[in-house]
Amino acid sequence: MTTPLKYPLGIQTFSEVREENYVYVDKTAYIYDLITTGKVYALSRPHLFGKSLLISTFEALFSGQKDLFTGLHICSTDYDFLTYPIVKLEFSQDEFRTADSLRDYIFTAVDDIAQRYEIELTKPSYSQRFGELISKLHDKTGQKVVLLVDEYDKPILNNLNKPVLEEIKLVMSALYSVIKPLDPHLKFVFITGVSKFAKISVFSGMNSLTDISMERQFATICGVTQNELEAYFAPAIVQLNTFEQLGKPALMAKIKDWYNGYRFEEDADSVYNPYSLLSLFKKQKFKNYWFATGTPTFLLNLLQSKQYDLKKLTEFEIGANAFEASDPQEMSVQSVFVQTGYLTIKDYNNSLYSLDFPNYEVKQSFYNSVATRYGHLDEGEEQTYVSRLIQCLTEDDLDAFFNTFSAFFANIPYDLHINTEQYYHSLFYAVFTLIGLNIEAEVKTNKGRIDCVLQTADTIYIIEFKLNDTCEAALKQINDKQYAQKYQDCDKKIVLVGVEFSQDERNIGQFIRG
């Protein structure tokens, strides 16, 4: 009988993973390359993507725990497994809502490490004490120090668009500014984060920092490749298929559609989200796992504050500078979405990148959050509306369809100032996406752009929206610009729909079917 696989959900300690025989995807070939070819690195990856486990793996390696690496790639190399003093800072430990709480954490973490090595520190400030710890560790042990920093940007992400942000960044900048003069005392430095928001300002004193976030050589250092999935999870795939009963090819395609798609360099292999993959095999059910661990509140705030057109998230190509570090206040919406993992590279042509959601899980979950936020609904309530809308379209009942949408819009508070079509377009677009039908927005024709084209199995709906104008005017635009001509060769019924929004009523006014 085959021993069931054990999945390290929520376990980020390398020693526990290895000692308790949890599944471990061997990434030590990348680790060997890093420690033998460079010294000071930074890596950004989405949350729950294996960064903390990677930090813990470095910790075990530089602690000389060779037994934990038995059977892994690095044991076949010439690595010597010497023991080095280690300073590890984990900024996921607190919310850090004030600069003082951040200073206190650093001060306490530094003192705890000093006590462990029986070192007395005398410097008064947290940054000076940090530098003093590293130099004295080197002096006492005779070995250079390994510095590991996990989730360096957590204090920034927790305080975006808050007055305390600038002071938080100053605290972090003061900490990292002492690293450069400490170079003679440092063996290896590895810093992880979700984003590269503050790399320019926070790490301004570390000009030797090598950012490997988009280097082809290390593009799959976190996450699970297709080959790794099939090599390490073969028994899990067989077990899952006993529930799904799809056959292996169809099951593999479904797993890929739900959880693969993250690409961190244009020519690199795509990877699966490891947290979602482990959750799928442990719970034997397709669900939203990664996105459910943290609603992207700051992303939704950003979209709303900018009245951002959701269609533009995946419509425009962007240049390489969108992937570079910058202060959060200066970044475009697309750049923020790319750097936090909600969009990823889908194609590359003529120095421009095409973006899209990585997979079904992220896309559907994101639009669920948009519909809930924009429609001011309770969590999960949007699915009730979506189910009704699907039934209305299946029955070609536009009266019931728009009545349902009117009920949906009625949830928006009256004191919320909405004076552009964009808010309504975004909400329509989010809900249409959730319906799961073929939806296109801002569809180009030779005479203009169609607001929305929605396709069911047998019908094409060509929809034009008007804010503070009549539905007749919307329908007239469809006819005058011959929008339907683009779809004449499709073997489907074509329905033309003009829709008016009433700014006074803050809702759908009337619609007309042509």
3 state SS for 184-228: HHEEEEEEEECCCCCHHHHCCCCCCCEECCCCHHHCCCCCECHHH
Output the DSSP codes for 248-273: HHHHHHHHHHHH--B-SSTTSPPBB-
Write out the H or E segment, with its range, that includes residue 385: helix 381-394
User: Over the stretch 130-147, which tens digit does the pLDDT of each residue have?
Assistant: 999 999 999 999 999 999
**Beta pairing partners, 509:** none
Number of domains, the chain:
3
Residues 158 and 269 in one domain: no
* Amino acid identity, position 60: A
Structural domain includes residue 488: yes
- Residues in a beta bridge with 508: 501
pLDDT at 341 (0 to 100) = 81
**107-125: string of b/e by CB count within 10 Å (b at 16+)?**
bebbeebbeeeebebeeee
- pLDDT single digits (tens) 221-238: 999 999 999 999 999 999
Is the separation of the CB atoms in 42 and 209 below 8 Å?
Answer: yes
Cβ neighbours around 76 below 10 Å, total: 11
Check pLDDT > 80 for residue 153.
yes
- What's the Cα-to-Cα distance from 506 to each of 305, 415, 467, 470, rounded to whole Å? 19, 10, 10, 15
User: pLDDT of 100-112, one tens digit each?
Assistant: 999 999 999 999 9
The answer on 285 and 167 residing in a single domain is no
- pLDDT of 370 > 90? The answer is no
The CATH number covering residue 25 comes to 3.40.50.300
Residue 300 or 238, more confident: 238
Task: Answer yes or no: do 365 and 384 share one domain.
Answer: no
Mean pLDDT over all residues of the chain? Answer: 85
CB crowding 154-175: b at 16 or more within 10 Å, else e: bbbbbbbeeebbeebbebbbbb
Residue 2 lies in a domain: no
pLDDT of res. 202 = 64
Average pLDDT over residues 456-469: 83
CATH number, domain with residue 402: 3.40.1350
Bigger pLDDT: 156 vs 60: 60
Tokens standing for residue 180: 């450069």
Task: Name the CA dihedral angle for 67, 71, 77, 78, rounded to a multiple of 10 degrees.
Answer: 20
28 inside domain: yes
Q: pLDDT value at position 328?
A: 57
DSSP, collapsed to helix, strand or coil, labels residue 280 as helix
Checking DSSP bridges between strand 186-193 and strand 210-211, what pairing results, if any? unpaired
Let me know if residue 122 belongs to a domain. yes
Residue 307 forms part of a structural domain: yes
Continuous segment of H or E residues that includes residue 450: strand 448-455
| 195 and 231 co-located in one domain | no
* Same domain as 92, residue 113: yes
Please indicate, yes or no, whether residues 20 and 165 belong to a single structural domain of this protein: yes
Q: What is the pLDDT of residues 1-34, one digit of tens each?
A: 456 789 999 899 999 999 999 999 999 999 999 9
Across 166-180, 266-280, 377-391, 438-452, the highest mean pLDDT is recorded for 266-280
Q: Give the pLDDT of residue 416.
A: 43
For the cut 80, the answer to whether the pLDDT of residue 270 exceeds it is: yes
Both 99 and 205 in one domain: the answer is yes
Give the mean model confidence (pLDDT) for residues 331-354: 82
> Are 367 and 449 in the same domain?
no
- Residue with the larger pLDDT of the pair 390 and 120: 120
Report pLDDT for 128. 93
Residues 143 and 204 in one domain: yes
Please indicate, yes or no, whether residues 414 and 340 belong to a single structural domain of this protein. Answer: no
Please report whether residue 258 resides in a domain: yes
For residue 8, being part of any structural domain is answered with: no
Whether the pLDDT of residue 289 is over 50: the answer is yes
Note whether 402 and 506 are same-domain residues: yes
Return the residue matching tokens 């696989």: 5
Query: CA 509 to CA 514: how far, in whole Å?
Result: 17
170 within domain boundaries: yes
Last residue of a domain, one of 326, 356, 374: 374
Domain boundary pick from 374, 392, 419: 374
Comparing 121 with 488, which gets the higher pLDDT? Answer: 121
pLDDT in tens, 378-431: 666 667 777 888 888 888 888 888 888 777 777 665 544 445 556 666 667 677
Q: Which of 374, 390, 418 corresponds to the end of one domain?
A: 374
Q: Please give the average per-residue pLDDT across 485-501, as a whole number.
A: 85
Q: Which residue has better confidence, 58 or 419?
A: 58
DSSP string covering 102-162: HHHHHHHHHHHHHHHTT-----SSHHHHHHHHHHHHHHHHSSPEEEEEESTTHHHHTTTTS
The residue segments making up the domain with residue 346 are 226-374
CB of 502 within 8 A of CB of 468? yes
What contacts 24+ positions apart, CB below 8 Å, involve 111-115? 113/87, 113/88, 113/137
> Quick one: pLDDT at residue 506?
66
pLDDT exceeds 80 at position 304 = no
The residue among 416, 481, 408, 406 whose CA lies nearest residue 450 is: 481
Q: Which of residues 88 and 455 earns the better pLDDT score?
A: 88
Predicted pLDDT at 201: 59
**Domain check: are 361 and 393 in the same one?**
no
Strand positions, DSSP E, 303-447:
344-349, 352-356, 438-445
